[in-house]
Amino acid sequence: MQSFRRAVPHMGRWVGHHRALDACRARQGLNNPSFQASRRALRGYSSGNLAELKEILRISEEVKEALATNKPVVALESTIYTHGALGDDLDLEGIVRRNGGVPAVVGILGGVPTVGLTTDEVTQLVEGPPKPKKASRRDIAYLVGTGMAGQKMNGGTTIAGTMVLARLAGIRVFGTGGLGGVHRGGHVSFDISADLTELGRTRMAVICSGSKGFLDIPRTLEYLETQGVLVSTFADGRKGDIDFPAFWARESGIKSPFVVQDEEHAAAILLAQEKLNIETGLLFANPIPEEYAIPGEKMATIIEQAVREADEQGAHGSGNTPFILRKIRELTNEASVPANKALVQSNVERATRVATAVSRLVSEGPSALNTPVKRWNGLETPSNVAASIQNVTRATEYVSVNDANKHLVLAMADMDIFTNQSFSPTWTATIRSSKPKWLVVDGNWKDHDVRAWMQAGKQNGAKVAFEPVSKAKSARLFCAERGLESLGVFPHATVDLATPNQYELAAMHAAAEGNEYFSDSRWWSVVDAFGMRGARDRFVNITSTAMTDAGIPQQAIRLLPFIPTIITKLGSEGALLTTILTKDDPRLYDVAHKPFVLSRCINDNQDVGGVYMRMFPPVEQVTDVASVNGIGDTFLGTLVAGLAQGGQIQNLINVAQKAAVLTLRSPQSVSEKLGSLENELLAASSLP
C-alpha cells in the first residue's frame, strides 16, 4: 500500500454535512423552497434527519470544502483495496488529483461511515483489526449500528455501498472498475448484484467498463432498463451503433442502449437528471483502453471454463465472483491483471473529467456547452487565455532565488508528486481520446517519464512543448540514459518548442554536450545545413555583443536539431526566438522577415531551409513586481493557447510577454486579469 499511502495528505476529522450541502445548494441556485421540499420528499430527509445525519456520517474537511466550493469530486470505492486483487499501486487518488479533482474514498472505519478516508485510514481499514467486511447497502446499518453498540467494525464499500454514502454526502460522480450484474442462470437463482437495484434508486453517475464479462450481459441490461437506469457508452470518436463493453473486451456483441459523445455530454445528462428530480442512477460505460483489451472470442472461452469450474466446485453467492476472477487470472496467464488495472485507472480518469465538466456547467450554466475547449495534458479548460494558462501552471510549495534584476536563478519546489509517480498507461489512452493539438510536458517528471509523455503525445498526433522548470530539471531532457526513448531530430523532433530562460538554456546545452548528444550523426546532418561558420557578427547584429559573448545564441543554435523552436526568456531584455525554417517557409522569401533570416541552407539537405533568429524587446519595463513566480508558465500558456488556434510563433510572443507582465504584477501564480488579453490573442493567432 505504500504508493497509495503517499498519494493523499491528511484530511481532517468530523465535519458538518448539512453546512456543505447548504453551501453547495447556494452556489448552484438550489436553495429555493420548492427544490428543498422535493429533495426532502424524494430522499426522505427532514431538517431533523439532516442533523442526525451530521452526527453519524463523517466527511473529510477536504471533501467538504470541495463540495461547498463546486470543485470536482470523485467517489472511490474501498472494496477495491479491502477485497480487490489488483495490488496496491493503482494510484487512483493520484489520478483524480492530477486531473484537477478531489478524491473521496468511501468506507466504514471503526463503525463510522466515512466519505474521504485519509491514506492512513485506508491502511487501517485494509489491515485492521478488525478484518474488513464487504459493505453493500444492506450491510451499512448493521456495521454502523454494531459500532454504536460498542463493537467497532470496518467495512469496504461495494459499488452499491459507495453510492449510498457518496450520495448522502452530495457527490455526483463515481469512478470504479466493473459493475455487478445478473449472474448466468440468474433468472433461476435470482443471483443479481445489489449494484443494479442501487442504480435504480440512487442518483449517481457511475463510470465503469460495463459489467464483469462473466455475467449475463443481456439480462443485466434488461434488468437495468426495468430499474429505469440510463445506460450509455462513450463513443470515443466512433460512429453508428456502439457495443456496450464487456469489461476485458471493448465489444460485447450487444448494442449499447444509448451513446454519449464526451464528458460534457455526460455532465449535461447528469444535471438534467438532477434538475428533473429523477432519482435513478446513470451508468456511463467506458471501454477498456485498446492496448489492454483481451479479444472477446478468447475471453469467451476462458470465461466459460471459469464459470463451469465455479459450478462444479460449488462457488456460489458471495464466493462466486472471487472464484471466477481468480480462475480467469490463472487461465489468462496473469494478462487479466494489467487489464484490470488499466481499465479502473482509465475509468477514474474519465470520471474526474466528467466531474470537472459538471462543475463547469454548474458555475457557467448551459452556455458552457458552446464554449470551445482546449485540452492540455489530458485536462480540459475553456479556451480563454486565463483558463488555458491556469491549466499549465503548477500548484506547489515553491521557493525561488532571483538576482538583483529579479531574474530567476534558482528554484526549489516540493514536486515529489511528479518524481514519485511513473507514467501511467491510462495517460496514453487519455491523450489518444482527447486528441490535443499541443501537449505541454515539464521537467518535474523523472527522465523516463518526460520521454514517455513526449512519445505518447507524438504517437497521437500532438505537438510537444517542454517547460524546463529550473536549471537542474531542464537537464532531464538530455539525460545520460539516452536509450530510454530516442530523442528525435528535425524534421522528426520529439520536442517542437521549449521556453527556457538563459540559465536553463545553458544547463540544457551542458547536459546535451556532456551526454554526447552532439555526437549523434543525425544532429550533424542538420547543423551542417545551417551554414553557421563565421556567424558571430550576425549574432551580434540580431542580439548584442554581451549576449553573444555569453553564448546564448550559439547554445540555442546547437540545440535546434533536437528542439526546432526555442524561445529564450531574457527577463528585462525580452525574448530571443530561434527556429528552423523549412524549405517552403514563406519567411525565407518575405522582405519583412529578411533581417531575421540568420542563415540559409548551404547544402542539399531536403528539410532545412534556414535559421530564423529574432530578438523581441520587452513590451514594458515593470517596476511594481508583486511576484516572479508563475510568469514562465503564463508565458508558455499564452503561446500554446495561440499556437493551438493556428497562430504563428513570431506573432504570439509579444502577447505572451504582456500576459507575463500581468502575472508579474499579481500576487497570484497566474494573474486573474489574463482574460483581458483574449481578443488580442485571437487577433494575433489569425495573422499570417
Quote the cell numbers at residue 4. 497509495
DSSP 520: -
Reported as a single tens digit per residue, the pLDDT across 144-202 is 999 999 999 999 999 999 999 999 999 999 999 989 888 777 676 777 899 999 999 99
Angle, alpha carbons 181-182-185 (nearest 5°): 155
Which residues constitute the domain of residue 161?
Answer: 1-170
From the list 77, 121, 349, 504, the catalytic residue is 77
Alpha helix locations (H) across 248-319?
263-275, 296-312
Mark whether 541 and 429 lie in a shared domain: yes
pLDDT value at residue 557: 96
Q: Distance (Å, rounded) from C-alpha 400 to C-alpha 422? A: 26
Q: Which of 54, 212, 463, 658 is catalytic?
A: 212
**What Cα–Cα distance (Å) separates residue 335 from each residue in 85, 125, 292, 304, 345?**
13, 28, 9, 17, 16
For residues 61 and 176, state if they share a domain.
no
Q: Would 658 be classed as within a structural domain?
A: no
Domain boundary among 132, 155, 170: 170
Q: For the segment 75-103, what is each residue's pLDDT rounded down to a tens digit? A: 999 999 998 756 557 889 999 998 889 99
pTM: 0.53
Confidence of residue 3 (pLDDT cuts 50, 70, 90): very low
For residue 272, what is the domain's CATH number? 3.40.1790.10
Better pLDDT: 233 or 214 = 233
Residue 416: per-residue pLDDT: 47
In a domain, 675, yes or no: no
611: three-class secondary structure by DSSP? strand
pLDDT value of position 9: 30
Q: What is the mean pLDDT of residues 270-283?
A: 95
666: pLDDT confidence band, cut at 50, 70 and 90?
Answer: confident
Number of domains composing the chain: 3
> Which residue has 493503482 as its cell numbers?
90
What is the length of the chain?
Answer: 688
- Tell whether 659 is covered by a domain: no
Last-in-domain residue among 170, 192, 217? 170
For the chain, what percent of residues have pLDDT higher than 90? 53
- The pLDDT value given to residue 317: 67
**159 and 200 assigned to the same domain:** no
Res 12: pLDDT: 29
Whether the link from the prior residue into 245 is cis, omega within 30° of 0, is no
On whether both 59 and 77 belong to a single domain, the answer is yes
Whole-number Å distance between alpha carbons of 383 and 369: 12
Shared-domain flag, residues 416 and 554: yes
458 is catalytic: no
Is the pLDDT higher at 341 or at 625? 341
Start-to-end CA span in the chain (Å): 54
Between residues 64 and 297, the one the model is more confident about: 64
Claim to verify: residue 293 and residue 405 sit in the same structural domain: no
Q: Which of 567, 597, 623 is the last residue of a domain?
A: 623
Residue 379 makes CB contacts below 8 A (sequence gap 6+) with 99, 100, 353, 356, 391
219 and 346 belong to one structural domain: yes
Same domain, 332 and 412: no
Residue 606 and residue 583 share a domain: yes
Backbone torsions φ then ψ of 71, nearest 5 degrees:
-85, 150
Residue 69 maps to a domain? yes
User: Could you tell me if 503 and 596 lie in one domain?
Assistant: yes
Lateral strand order in the sheet of 608-616: 438-442, 463-467, 497-498, 565-569, 575-582, 608-616, 597-600
Q: Give the whole-angstrom CA distance, residue 430 versus residue 289.
A: 9
Residue 379 lies in a domain: no
Q: How do residues 217-260 score in pLDDT, each as one tens digit?
A: 999 999 999 999 999 999 988 888 899 998 888 888 899 999 99
Whether 134 and 114 map to the same domain: the answer is yes
The DSSP code sequence of 408-440 is EEEEEE--HHHHT----HHHHHHHHHH--SEEE
Q: What is the pLDDT of residue 485?
A: 61
Averaged pLDDT for residues 273-296: 92
User: Is 485 labeled as catalytic in the residue annotation?
Assistant: no
The verdict on 399 and 359 lying in the same domain is no
**47, pLDDT greater than 60:** no
pLDDT the model gives residue 368: 55
Q: Which of 128-132, 408-412, 578-582, 622-626 has the lowest mean pLDDT?
A: 408-412
Q: Confirm whether 665 is domain-assigned.
A: no
Q: From CA 682, how far away is CA 547, in angstroms rounded? A: 32
- Report if residue 123 sits inside a domain: yes
When pLDDT is cut at 50, 70 and 90, the band that residue 21 belongs to is: very low
678 falls within a domain: no
For the purposes of burial, counting CB atoms within 10 Å of the CB of 556, is it exposed (0-12), middle (13-18) or buried (19 or more)? buried
The pLDDT value recorded for residue 50 is 56
Weakest mean pLDDT among 13-22, 501-510, 640-649: 13-22
Q: 29, exposed or middle or buried, with CB in 10 Å at 0-12, 13-18, 19+? A: exposed
C-alpha 651: how far from chain center: 30
